[in-house]
Amino acid sequence: MTSALQADNYVPERAIDEIADFIADPVNAADFPQHILRFRNDRAAATVGLDRLDDAQWITHFGRFGPLPGAQPAPLALRYHGHQFRYYNPDLGDGRGFLFAQLRERAEAGGRLLDLGTKGSGLTPYSRTADGRLTLKGGVREILATEMLEALGVTTSRSFSLIETGEQLVRGDEPSPTRSAVLVRLSHGHIRIGSFQRLAYRGETENIARLADYCLRYLLDMPPGDNAALTLLAAMVERAADLAASYMVAGFVHGVLNSDNINISGESFDYGPWRFTPYWTPGFTAAYFDQTGLYAFARQPEAIHWNLVQLARSLISIADQDALIAILQRYADIYEQRLIARFLWRLGHDAPDMAAARAFVIAAVEALREGEVPIDRFFFDWRRGQRSGSLYGSEAWDKAREAAAALTLRPGALDHAYWQGDGPCSMHIDEVEALWAAIDSGDDWAPLMAKIAAIRAMGAAHGRAAPAKGLTS
């Protein structure tokens, strides 16, 4: 086992020990009746020195949760509160997951401190009336979400491992009984806005300061200084605005942007009823229970800002209120800048100046809002210079074409073979259901693996998204 972890970049850390006394509880993993390895992300594993594990070793660590050498000896369920659909809930926390290990990413990949966290790993003190389990379909859906988002430049957690566990689960939103699994994620931290909310709710001012210090040093790579709370909020505003912009350009609807689902690192994570909207439909929702459209496609930037306000409220005991408000007011401008930058990145073009870029994005979004052209089709066609034809025949598209005249194609933007294909790679609900049906009815995993390969090819064709100022991920 040790020889498999001799990679130069296998660097376990235990930074969480600095704050575990007030934010975590040791727990045990469930003892599952079966372990069938369904997915291992060796591309992600290579960044933390775990790609040399054979399948048996992989299952030992990510199915039975035997501790990794040098990592924490026991899993930790994290404590947090949060607003769920804007109603405060003090009865949250890791109910079916835990922090398993922390590892340092290899330097050329960024050198960040990364967490291995779980979903469906068993009961914790915060499970309430739930069973602590994950359905296999839920695990498959998370793999698809994270792979697609990563390919589209969204800063996201990565699905690291999926192991089927041989139990039959009953769920109200899936045909039951249904198969079980345990998922492992590789994330840039698991500290949420709700982590700060819990401490504020309990009046733990000293621990708020300790948590802010931890987040700055380990998640944001910034010195805490004398105004840690203000530094933290400013960094979070920038990253969250970029996250909101990236969702819009990807056509992604998270579905449950509650404050307990917003990572302080600015990384997208915790995928439940997500969907990609086929068209630029402002009111498109992902969750059947989002009956008011609170987290609809076009309301996501607003929802993320609302959560930032809750973070600021949690920091009032250690920071000046007026200074916090001033930082929050930067969000709208940063969001617009990042929306434009990410829009042009996906299009593979540059603009001569911000005014020209802004004019084009406004015109393109207005044309997309007509609902006749799929989002993925637009970016695929227009990157390749295919901007005419009946699909783009309306007056709104005429205006978009006129604005696009100022843009220039980036060198190498069409070099990948993906751009010579017949159409874009997409991930709409009918595709998700078809992939699951193959697994559910015939235990056929080949279509899923083929889809992952296609998604990764698309990601290679797009290249790496330019991060917002100050971002390292």
Question: 467 lies in a domain?
Answer: no
Nearest to 185 by CA among 111, 85, 263: 263
The two three-digit tokens of residue 444, written as one number: 């056929």
State the total domains in the chain.
1
Supply the pLDDT for residue 172.
81
**Which amino acid type is present at position 8?**
D
Supply the pLDDT for residue 470.
37
Q: What is the DSSP letter of 279?
A: S
257 touches 304 (CB < 8 A)? yes
User: Got the DSSP string for 104-118?
Assistant: EPPGGGT--EEEEEE
Among candidate residues 51, 94, 213, 260, the one labeled active-site is 260
Residue 374: cis peptide before it, omega within 30 degrees of 0: no
The two three-digit tokens of residue 312, written as one number: 């600021």
pTM here?
Answer: 0.96
Residue-number span of the structural domain to which 189 is assigned: 2-193
439 sits in which H/E element: helix 429-442
Helix 446-462 to helix 429-442 angle, to the nearest 10 degrees?
A: 150
Q: How far apart are CA 205 and CA 225, in angstroms?
A: 17
**Which amino acid type is present at position 266?**
G
70-109 burial by CB neighbour count: b if 16+ within 10 A, else e? eebeebbbbbbbbbebeeebeebbbbbbbbbbbbbbbeee
Question: 42 lies in a domain?
Answer: yes
pLDDT tens profile 129-172: 889 999 999 999 999 999 999 999 999 999 999 999 999 998 88
Question: 121 lies in a domain?
Answer: yes
Supply the pLDDT for residue 351.
92
Q: How far apart are CA 470 and CA 290, in angstroms?
A: 34
Question: 139 lies in a domain?
Answer: yes
Supply the pLDDT for residue 472.
34
Residue 92 falls in which region: left (phi positive, over 0), alpha (psi -120 to 50) or beta: beta
Question: 363 lies in a domain?
Answer: no
Nearest to 331 by CA among 200, 194, 269, 238: 238
HSE, CB side, 13 Å, CA atoms: give it for residue 253.
26
User: Got the DSSP string for 178-234?
Assistant: EEEEEEEEEES---BHHHHHHHHHTT-HHHHHHHHHHIIIIIS-----S-HHHHHHH
Question: 53 lies in a domain?
Answer: yes
H-type alpha helices, 13-135: 20-23, 42-46, 55-62
Nearest to 397 by CA among 360, 343, 433, 424: 360
The two three-digit tokens of residue 94, written as one number: 């890791």
**E-assigned strand segments in 262-418:** 275-276, 349-350, 408-409
* Residue 270, helix vs strand vs coil: coil
Beta bridge partners of 82: 89
Question: 329 lies in a domain?
Answer: no
Q: For this structure, is 333 an active site residue?
A: no
Supply the pLDDT for residue 107.
85
Question: 132 lies in a domain?
Answer: yes
State which residues of the chain have pLDDT below 50: 1, 468-473
85 sits in which H/E element: none
260 touches 193 (CB < 8 A)? yes
